[in-house]
Amino acid sequence: MKNRWIIAIFLVIGMVSVGHAQTTLQSVRVTIPFQFAAGNNSLPAGQYVISTMKGSLIQFRNEKTHDVVTQIAPREVNRSSQNHVLVFSGNRQHWVLTDIFDDAMSVSIPVGHKANMEHAQVTFVPIL
């Protein structure tokens, strides 16, 4: 009877591990040196792991605080001549993540914040 419980516990742990592995499709690691917006979420500067998930989701995990933000519906985009970068639009006070170009993913992030992009600059942050 004791052996059945041990086997059952290992089976549950195995199923949870496999389920988690299947939900993360691709990941990149990046250091973003300024506060920024991704969709409707405002995020602090820091080191992030950005992962695409099943169901057209993208997840931002801050490596220091372990805070996780999930953004809905990134769009796959054609490869850019810029590779291994995050693309931000905005100015010194307000940056908005617009695109991610890497071997692991090429996605366009829907802009949720109502930002005045009329005189926006573009900046690139390299992916580690």
Q: Is the pTM of this model over 0.75?
A: no
pLDDT of residue 65: 92
Distance, CA of 118 to CA of 90 (rounded, Å): 9
Tens of pLDDT, residue by residue over 14-49, are: 444 444 444 667 888 999 999 999 888 899 999 999
Q: Domain boundaries in the chain?
A: 24-126
| pLDDT band at residue 78 under the 50/70/90 scheme | low
- SS3 label, residue 58: strand
β-pairing, 46-53 with 75-76?
unpaired
pLDDT of residue 54: 81
| pLDDT band at residue 77 under the 50/70/90 scheme | low
Distance, CA of 72 to CA of 79 (rounded, Å): 21
Calculate what percentage of the chain has a pLDDT beyond 90: 24
E strands within the chain?
24-32, 36-38, 41-43, 46-53, 57-62, 68-72, 75-76, 85-90, 95-101, 106-108, 121-126
